[in-house]
Structure 1
């Protein structure tokens, strides 16, 4: 399934993408309640927390609701008319893996890491597809980073590599925006990674069963229509199962945690200094990963946002 979050009257609402449009789950339940009164997940986190049973209930409900659709259906919405939120709204943890693509490490003249390089971001960085992202007044070097996100679905502690992907709920796109001048000011990267709205997430959270092998996905970033990054997740140094297992050896992963798995070559930082042109007011960045849709955002001067 493809799940999304949209905004109605400043509140997040939960939707499921179908061939007939986006099913507004809450509205559909009001018009077409389950025959036996079973509960239906009403938020993306209720689905994630509920695991396979919640996914199954939701899938059955969507099928039932679509069977009752008529010409005046109010709970099917044209996706183009929706304001989307981050597809995971309240992760307990946002964990990031740095320098995790071989060619990206090479372009930045960095050594291939022996262990995953981990850092974190915070919920203030989350936003959705289509939202404007402020260019911080304190930075002149904001860079794009196309990345695959792992969304945890089951509590994971000391899990093996072989079992790791059984703890994954699904996957989505993210643009791990990075203010390079702030990031490289000290040895700690956090400042340059955690500016407001620096993790647009979505447009969809796609369940793992629809993805197959997450390490065989094309990944691309365009800026104003120009391809800047084009690679495949097979170039990861540490693959998704290794990442989940490694992190779980050191901290407990819980449902709804998200892991940003690193970016391929083609970032501005990887160009010779004289050729580096960082993101500017009006630039439109699109992240596209195979099977996960397109995530598009516009960069704007911070003082132009309301």
Structure 2
């Protein structure tokens, strides 16, 4: 994976004291740290609770990036953008509508994702903002929620679209979104940023397909964390995928490249092969 999208984001964010966290493998070992230009400042301890720099660095080009955190659960929003709700002619929901994706669906930045052998229908991309939880969180208010958010990441919420309504007696959201590889996110978690003014862009095979503002979100990140924390306890590393907007489409080519870019965070790039 090219390091330039990460490097660009790191340069933008240093002025606001943000940090771009990554996990990686190197020489059969795993590590984590903060991106600093073309290097990673290696840290030790717990990423979410008092991680300390070791003083060592490693070149980004020398490592293989992992998903930046390991969620115990992945929560994915439906109908969370005003523009998409208007296009679909569905009402704005009074509370967040969400499903769960299996943690086994996670794919690393740069990974190539194969079509599931058991499914022959349409597979679509969905570029999204992801919220990463940093502290155990239950029953918090929107005003408190920021203290429990570790940072933000890029998500491609891949979906086997034809499965959702295939059985008229039961909407198969979880199955449609939980095939192996259907949950890539990363390449970093950006802490110390306010995503409200940012824009999400999705590019499929070199053509821009999505370009929409996070400000159009029906339930903004702090409200989402608060509302969901009243339903279930959120744990450090848990991932909330904030939903998508206009421009979702099918990956039709034999080999596809999908890039989800959020300025200030970076670019998540993955392949999909039929």
Q: TM-score normalized by structure 1?
A: 0.77
In structure 1, how many angstroms separate the alpha carbons of the residues matched to 2:85 and 2:61? Answer: 37
The CA RMSD measured in Å over matched residues stands at 1.8
Gaps of 5+ in 2: 1-18
The one of 210, 223, 232 equivalent to 1:251 is 232
In structure 2, how many angstroms separate the alpha carbons of the residues matched to 1:80 and 1:105? Answer: 41
In structure 1, how many angstroms separate the alpha carbons of the residues matched to 2:267 and 2:233? Answer: 31
* Structure 1 residues 111 and 188, CA gap change in structure 2 (3 angstroms): farther
Report the more deviating stretch, 125-134 or 10-19: 10-19
Matched, 1:140 2:124: no
Question: Which has more strand, going by share of residues?
Answer: 2
Secondary structure of 1:285's match?
Answer: strand
In structure 1, how many angstroms separate the alpha carbons of the residues matched to 2:134 and 2:29? Answer: 24
Matched, 1:178 2:178: no
* Structure 1 residues 227 and 24, CA gap change in structure 2 (3 angstroms): same
State which structure, 1 or 2, has the greater radius of gyration over its C-alpha atoms.
Answer: 1
* Structure 1 residues 225 and 247, CA gap change in structure 2 (3 angstroms): same
Question: Which has more helix, going by share of residues?
Answer: 1
**Is contact 1:139-1:181 (8 Å) kept?**
no
The one of 103, 107, 110 equivalent to 2:83 is 103
Name the counterpart of 1:292.
265
Name the counterpart of 1:28.
none
Matched, 1:130 2:107: no
**Is contact 1:4-1:84 (8 Å) kept?**
yes
Name the counterpart of 1:36.
none
Name the counterpart of 1:282.
255
Gaps of 5+ in 1: 26-39, 67-74, 269-276, 302-306
Would you say how many aligned residue pairs link Structure 1 and Structure 2? Answer: 252
The one of 170, 173, 189 equivalent to 2:173 is 189
Q: Return the structure number with greater relative CO, CA threshold 8 A, min gap 6.
A: 2
Q: 1:261 Cα shift?
A: 0.6
In structure 1, how many angstroms separate the alpha carbons of the residues matched to 2:252 and 2:208? Answer: 14
Name the counterpart of 1:151.
132
**Is contact 1:135-1:281 (8 Å) kept?**
no
In structure 2, how many angstroms separate the alpha carbons of the residues matched to 1:279 and 1:94? Answer: 26
Q: 1:175 Cα shift?
A: 0.3
Q: Write out per-residue CA displacement over residues 188-229 of structure 1, whole angstroms, 9 at most, x where no aligned residue.
A: 31111001111111111111x1x12x2221111000111100
Secondary structure of 2:185's match?
Answer: strand
Name the counterpart of 1:226.
207
Matched, 1:2 2:20: yes
Q: 1:20 Cα shift?
A: 4.8
Secondary structure of 2:93's match?
Answer: coil
**Is contact 1:139-1:182 (8 Å) kept?**
no
Q: TM-score normalized by structure 2?
A: 0.86
Secondary structure of 1:244's match?
Answer: helix
* Structure 1 residues 280 and 11, CA gap change in structure 2 (3 angstroms): farther
Q: 1:168 Cα shift?
A: 0.5
Name the counterpart of 2:223.
242
